[in-house]
Structure 1
Amino acid sequence: MAIINGTAAGDNLFIPSGRTGDTLNGLAGGDNVVGLTGAGGNTLNAGDGDDSLFGYQNDTLTGGAGFDQFELSGVKLPNAPNIITDFNPVEDGIQVDLPLSSKASDVTIKQSGSDTIVSFGITPLAIVKNTLVSAFITDTTNNLYNLYTIFNAPIPVPPVALTPLVDFKKDPAKYMASIRDYDGNNLGGASSWKLLGDADIQGDGDLESILVNPETGRFASVGAVNGDIDFSKYGLNGDTRVVGIYIDPTLINKPENVGGPFDSQTRFQSDLKNDNLKLLAAGDYDKDGFQDLYFKLGDGSAVLRALMFKDGNIQYANYQSKSDLTAFMTTNGVSSSVWGGWI
């Protein structure tokens, strides 16, 4: 459990990614105290000053002295309500901003003993301690309110923490806890990543580090700009992510074979889990505008061609025997000096 303290000035404090049980103390000054970056169950203490507190789920929010704004925001509904300990209806406000919310009536309040529960539909967002429903004012027409719904309000984001590529290459597993898939999911297995080498999987002239994970059966690319890695670049136009999985295009009309021995995705993941792949190279060998990322099987019996999208995610993959590889490269006019030693 970490305790992160601010200063006497205005601070931007964030729960570290995926953490629970941590505490943020804003101390004095006008602070942004943000729990959205954590996993919930954290404590947000703003301290003195006019502050904004951003709860995620099951967070405990205490504004302290001053005019404070309690923000109930996020990309999804919480699994458990946040606790607001010291709401002052004269000075403070509660703001609800959820993508699912489209009108003020989506947000309701009801009494529960001495507390008020703020909900979205039937899902509790926050328990406001020692506060009566009658203390809430929702008359936005006359600009007199302390509970309101706002749409797409800006939310503070943590500063980008960059990882030097030279440090990453020395011990990749030390940093791979930060890797995410395209949708931002942490797939686990941080200590099991193995660096195979570098290849240009986007065709932009920049090399990405290629890693495999026998524990999860996935592979990843890690890119760097000016010698630094930004692990937040996993989405659109990013190049640092756990590469996705795909549906074998040869089985679209043969659903009964999905997951079987003729499914290249299943075989690919099996080889990843068995640590049976070695990185060869990448290039647009068939000149279709997309990079072909090649791996070699451990026994040297075949190669694996992964056809990549422009953003570095995978389209599909197929295995090639020596004769398949020869036919593919010869047809596309690629010199055997490039691939002749692969099998």
Structure 2
Amino acid sequence: MNTKTKQFKLVQHTTAALGAGLIVGSALVYRFATGFSDKQKKQGQDKSISQNNPVDNDWFDHLNAEEWQITTEDGLKLAASFVQNPAPTGKVVILAHGLHHSRQQVGVYARVFYEQGYSLLMPDARAHGKSEGNVIGLGWLDRQDYLQWIHEVLKRQNENAQILLFGISMGATTVLAVSGEDLPKNVVGIIADSGYSNVFAEGKYRLRHKYHFPAVPFVAIASTISKVRDGYAFQDGDILQQVQRNQLPLLLIHGGRDQTVPVKNVFELYHAANQPKKLYVEPTADHIESIYVNPAKYRRVVEKFLNLVDRVQESHPTA
């Protein structure tokens, strides 16, 4: 075997090894980004409870909640807690929790809305909590699920109900993704706390900055795997485009020191959004910490926005 042949063989073997490494690495990134086992789901539920204030957990546990269920278009049974508010306002808020958590995570937020007369629907996202599935939707697949939850509210409650969408972290991205869909007139406003503006970009950021793993080309290949296996690529999750379609009142909230979803995301979302829109950045808060850093201001901002939603509805009633 001459020298050139040996060099060619070496290049072949090296290329094959690199290719195999890319495929294996990308498969691991895909699994890490979207996979969530039943054991991890239980751990996420426990984490949601342990990270809450005990007072909020106690309030949540004493709610007279009904268990609701829907079946998604791809055959998953999703679970939720529904709490009827005794005040006859006809208002319902659907609250979306964050990545690797469960419905219990939104307890502290639910209380704000409940005290304003809202009934509560708190789903477990697909592949979280008591909902079926082991592939996380990252807010993009979930948008279709939350459309179903909206129609479930109208079916079980009142066809004239006023529905507000609220979410934190991945849940914020979910409700922002929903905002660009064809919604019933019953949906009257959206609040998103710490959402990301693009699923693909957020995946690259987390891989680089949180896990210190090179994003290129692994996230792109993982996205292709997701497209083949789950029917969507990470690039499909263009949340800015969804927000540009939204015509509902929108409140965007973010922590100024967010290391999980950089604060630049909220400014991108705000600039893409149509009026009426409001922005609240809590300067010293990290990811979804604004309500804990400055609870009084958080409540005031939310309540002021709810008043805005009411004024918009009075001038353009649902019914």
- Please indicate, yes or no, whether the TM-score normalized by the shorter chain is above 0.5: no
Asked which structure has the greater CA Rg, the reply is: 1
TM-score (norm 2): 0.26
Q: Which has the higher helix share?
A: 2
TM-score (norm 1): 0.24
- Of structures 1 and 2, the one with the larger relative CO (CA 8 A, separation 6+) is 2
Q: Which has the higher strand share?
A: 1
